[in-house]
Amino acid sequence: MPATLPPPPRLLLSCSPEAAAQTVLYAATAPAEEVGGAYVGTAPRVGHHSRDAGDPVLAARVWELGAHLCGLGGDDLVA
């Protein structure tokens, strides 16, 4: 008898595939002034990122840490 997987938690299936696709399509096709650089939740809800998410110094630190953890160095990076 083949093994069966248990059903996924309900939280992972909180919307239909159609609703999920609508959010992706909205994010991809809405005017940049409306969604550019923003978090797009369930369409058409657009949120704003935190101040830290827009911090270029913090972004550089995260980039460098990620590169280090991936074993990349100087010549391997494209910035």
Number of structural domains (the chain) is 2
pLDDT tens-digit map of 5-28: 766 655 555 778 888 888 888 888
Q: Which helix (H) or strand (E) holds 39?
A: strand 39-40
Question: 72 is in which domain, residue-wise?
Answer: 50-79
Taking the C-alpha atoms of 78, 38, 45 and 17 in order, what is their torsion angle to the nearest 10 degrees? Answer: 0
Q: Secondary structure of the chain: what % helix, strand, coil (to 5)?
A: 50, 5, 45
Q: Indicate if 11 and 36 belong to the same structural domain.
A: yes
Q: Indicate if 9 and 40 belong to the same structural domain.
A: yes
Q: Indicate if 14 and 28 belong to the same structural domain.
A: yes
Place of tokens 């939740």: 41
Q: Indicate if 29 and 63 belong to the same structural domain.
A: no
Please give the pLDDT value at position 32: 84
Contacts with 23 (C-beta within 8 Å, 6 or more apart), sequence order: 40, 41, 42, 43
Indicate if the pLDDT at residue 60 is higher than 80: yes
